[in-house]
Amino acid sequence: MNIYKLLQINQKINNHRIKFFGLWLLSVFNKRYLSIQFDPVLACNLRCKMCYFTDPNFTKKLKGIFKEEDLPKIASVNFKNALKIQIGCGAEPTLFKNIDKIIELARQYKIPHISMVTNGNLLTKQDISTYSEKGLHEFIISMHGVYKDTYENFMDKGNYDIFHKLLENISLEKKNNPKLTLRINYTFNKDNFYEIKDFFKWFGQYDINTIQFRPIDKIGETAYNNFSLKEIEQDYSKIMQDFGVEAQLRKINVLAPTSIKRDEERNVVQNKNNSSYLVPYATCYIAPDFFWKENFDWKNQTFHQWKKENHWDWKLFKNIFISRKKLDQINRNMLNYSVEMNG
């Protein structure tokens, strides 16, 4: 399944009522619609300066790891309702020793798209091969700088040379497994944005399928705390346009915000994104300290039981008739990513 084509179709549907109607139908007929984001361990080997792992007060709350014996039970709860699963969300999954078991379970439950988000500094060539053989569809690699100094500054404890070797090893594995894909997540701020112009000069030799550009966001009191993007607003569209031209020639998909304008006082984007309305209803976060919703007991409930007890389908149905203005009040204003399919 090409998850990015689905995202592109979703992007083209502007009416939030149609989107909620589709979500309601999928839920009523017990079809796949969940996007599972799975953090099996709440820890990280790096201290990226734009990440909440540099906030000691925030990280005090981030503790816990699933046991291997927990995994089959977790999978039985709602893997059959998942359209995709992303291993790694707010922490580093390679610190968990049983990633292969998660991939095996996801494949057993026939989840159409299985990905893993990682900084990649701990991934060995053997790991890449093993996860690929088990059924991983996509490696999503975090990156905060094109140049060595920038990369190692923003990704504290990270190694630029190891990062290059990682991309080389994934590119080699893709020759053995044509279904495997590689995505780069580039988080930018005013100090690393202009390096994007040289991306293909330093990384053009690797077999990359997708690149996502993600503007800095405030989550916790991070080491780097300049969240303003005003200095790059004027140049943003031109640089993204030029990058998109080169990406198209290389058949690389690009995910990037249509705008980076923000309300500087509240640190929220000013453009509207009706896709974000679905996030609380379609995204299932799983971690040692949280599973789906506050009132969900994964050890003693199935997803179907919880839906019935909480009148979930009725809530989805009512959202079809809620105004956009009211949805804006109850949903965080998130960025609207434009999906350019070039592959």
Give the pLDDT confidence score for residue 331 in this predicted structure: 62
Q: What is the DSSP string of 50-83?
A: TSGGG-HHHHTT---B--GGGHHHHHHHHGGGEE
For the cut 80, the answer to whether the pLDDT of residue 288 exceeds it is yes
Give the pLDDT confidence score for residue 1 in this predicted structure: 82
CA–CA separation, 211 and 187 (whole Å):
11
Give the pLDDT confidence score for residue 11 in this predicted structure: 82
Give the pLDDT confidence score for residue 128 in this predicted structure: 98
| CB distance 33 to 145 below 8 Å | no
Distance of CA 241 to the CA centre of its chain: 23
Cα separations (Å) of 230 from 216, 227, 262, 269? Answer: 12, 9, 8, 12
Cα separations (Å) of 263 from 151, 235, 259, 268, 338? Answer: 28, 18, 12, 5, 20
pLDDT band at 270 (very low <50, low <70, confident <90, very high): low
Lowest mean pLDDT among 31-45, 149-163, 228-242, 265-279: 265-279
Pairing of strands 337-340, 253-257: antiparallel
Which residue has 């956009």 as its token pair? Answer: 324
| CB distance 50 to 144 below 8 Å | yes
| 288-311: average pLDDT | 96
What residues does 87 pair with on adjacent strands? 38, 116
CA–CA separation, 26 and 3 (whole Å):
17
| 38-44: average pLDDT | 97
Give the pLDDT confidence score for residue 326 in this predicted structure: 82
| CB distance 114 to 101 below 8 Å | no
Pairing of strands 47-48, 113-118: unpaired
Question: Dihedral through CA 31, CA 112, CA 280, CA 184, nearest 10?
Answer: -170
Query: Helix, strand or coil for residue 109?
Result: coil
What residues does 309 pair with on adjacent strands? none
pLDDT band at 183 (very low <50, low <70, confident <90, very high): very high
Which residue has 């966001």 as its token pair? Answer: 217
Phi and psi at residue 32, to the nearest 5°: -75, 130
CA–CA separation, 90 and 48 (whole Å):
12
CA–CA separation, 249 and 242 (whole Å):
11
| CB distance 240 to 256 below 8 Å | yes
Sheet holding 283-287, edge to edge: 290-291, 283-287, 34-38, 82-87, 113-118, 138-143, 181-188, 210-215, 253-257, 337-340
- CATH homologous superfamily for the domain 3-340: Aldolase class I (3.20.20.70)
| 290-307: average pLDDT | 95
pTM over 0.85: yes
Neighbouring CB atoms inside 10 A of 135's CB total 18
For the cut 90, the answer to whether the pLDDT of residue 272 exceeds it is no
Average pLDDT, the chain: 93
